[in-house]
Structure 1
Amino acid sequence: MHPVFQSSRRDFTFGPWKLSAARTHIMKSAQAERLADELHMPSLPEMMFGDNILRIQHDRGFGIEFNATDALKCVNNCQGMIKVACAEEWQESRSETEHTKEVVKPYDWTYTTDYKGTLLGDTARLKRVMPSSFFVLLRFFLRVDGVLIRMNDTRLHHEADKAYMLREYTSRESKISSLKHVPPSLFTEPNEISQYLPVKETICEKLEFPEKLEPKAEASLETMCVKSK
């Protein structure tokens, strides 16, 4: 017998902050279809955990959260992107397959997203919570066999005595043809393969807390540095 999946929720308290992490079931097909219609996409990822969430919220209401629905809103649902061109390359390499013509869709079928979290005006994976700080890593990892590997990381860090959070977004990508010197066994290991993927974009931001801590205040963004290649 297969073990029964159990939904879980964990809450952490960090001074005035509450960190909540919820892990739930895969979204039901009817819900997925409704969401796909709302996002104007032909379909959603096969395994969509729509109710999974990581929320970091101050007791005055502001904060940041990470959820799959908002991440999908950052996916390009138009045709003609370079990401779709990769799908065409993938299709050509498998032209003998019966159903290859069904692969290319009028949207980014890789679901690549540069989602960096949703700011709360009343963010993955929780790596650590310590008395002095917390650190969050949100990772998008894509491997298209024979074509490319792409990894978008968002790191969020806050120290207890600071009135801001630091958020760093890094996008890495490489064609498989450029990774001939790398053991293929590393292609499925994000932590190992990352050192071989060239950095395409880096964005560092300072998320400042509102000066007046009112329930409906919104966090502001101050860009500290932006590097693009």
Structure 2
Amino acid sequence: MSVDGNISSETVNSDPPRGGVVIRGGDSLAAVCGVNASKRRRVEHHSFGEGDCSWRVEASQGLMTDSKQTDMLVEELGLPQMPEMVFLDNTVSLSFKGEERIRFSAKDALATVSLIPDPNVKVAATSKWREARKDSEYIDRETLKFDWTFTPDYSGTFSNIPPHKIRDVEHEWEVINVEKLTRRDPILFFQDLILFEDELSDNGCAMLNVKLRAMKTCFLLLLRFYLRVDDVMVRVIDSRFYTEPSWSVIVWEHTKREASIPELRAQDIGYSEITRPDEISPKLTVLSQKTQVIELN
């Protein structure tokens, strides 16, 4: 067990992801994580808080899914294809007062990928992707029946959070405190986990990862989807979750950015920079941005 401000880790058998959002797929997906009972995952957790505000973040890390697990995901989620690398055992959960409130998992994210192709991606790139995977038994060679960029409509799986507890910002202090985040305070807990990744058959990259850090004064988690379709476009979708030890709320910021490759080249932005999400993200056009507050008491 961990105590306030300390990190504890353990190795346990895989268990199924949980969550409270309505997504494709059913309870039978729980079997996916138990296909190979000999596989194990590493679990680390960190507790923090002040007064009656007790927080706990838990991160688990395991192996990439095998072919049997992938086949089960394809059947359950209804997607013709899974990303080349899926990490079902890579999960993060955030709990408050002993109850899990938000969980991040590859399975839940993939369950939100649209079954309709993305109209913003050029047909030429779609044709290249389909040709590269023509031998897959799941691909309809006449019509590609899903968003092959794997763009999820996902900001985490919420549980024990009624809809009326998610509201707009009402107070000046309900912000992501950049000043605290940029201090050189010791990092008490850090994780950077890939949930899934695909190279789009050498036509780019689609990756969903979750990164978090806890310091004495604050906690920040970033769920980021990065998409690069070579010679076409770049997309970054960020969900940031910020809280402090004495808070009973989470500040949730969701931002979607995008730009075409020709637009970036016109700004003399080279390929190496485009392939680095942290560097390219601030240079993309902001399509939408919203900040909300999640009340937990």
The CA deviation at 1:18 is 1.4
**Cα RMSD after superposing both structures:** 2.5
Counterpart of 1:172 in structure 2 is: 257
User: Could you report, residue by residue, the CA deviation over 1:15-73 in whole angstroms, capped at 9, with x for unpaired residues?
Assistant: 32111111110112111111111111111101010121011112331421111111112
Q: Secondary structure at the residue paired with 1:121?
A: coil
Distance 2:71 2:133 in 1: 22
Counterpart of 1:183 in structure 2 is: 270
Counterpart of 2:42 in structure 1 is: 8
Counterpart of 2:124 in structure 1 is: 89
Residues 102-111 or 15-24, more deviating? 102-111
Counterpart of 1:221 in structure 2 is: none
Distance 2:133 2:108 in 1: 30
Q: Please report the TM-score for the alignment, with normalisation by the length of structure 2.
A: 0.61
Q: Give yes or no for the alignment of 1:17 onto 2:55.
A: yes
2:103 to 65, 83, 88: 65
Asked if the contact 1:33/1:43 (under 8 Å) is kept, the reply is no
Counterpart of 1:218 in structure 2 is: none
Q: Secondary structure at the residue paired with 1:99?
A: helix
Distance 1:178 1:38 in 2: 39
Distance 1:91 1:67 in 2: 27
The CA deviation at 1:101 is 8.6
Asked if the contact 1:114/1:152 (under 8 Å) is kept, the reply is no
Q: Give yes or no for the alignment of 1:46 onto 2:121.
A: no
Distance 1:26 1:100 in 2: 22
Distance 2:102 2:77 in 1: 22
Q: Secondary structure at the residue paired with 2:213?
A: strand
Q: Name the aligned partner's letter for residue 89 of structure 1.
A: A
5+ residue gaps, structure 2, are 1-38, 135-140, 162-208
Q: Name the aligned partner's letter for residue 218 of structure 2.
A: S
Q: Secondary structure at the residue paired with 2:112?
A: coil
Distance 1:201 1:165 in 2: 20
The CA deviation at 1:126 is 3.8
Aligned residues: 199
Distance 1:143 1:31 in 2: 26
Identity of paired residues, percent?
31
Counterpart of 1:99 in structure 2 is: 131
Distance 1:138 1:28 in 2: 24
Give runs of aligned pairs for residues 1-229 of structure 1, distance below 5 A.
7-15=41-49, 16-79=54-117, 81-83=118-120, 85-86=121-122, 88-91=123-126, 99=131, 102=134, 105-121=144-160, 124-180=209-265, 181-210=268-297
Distance 1:51 1:198 in 2: 33
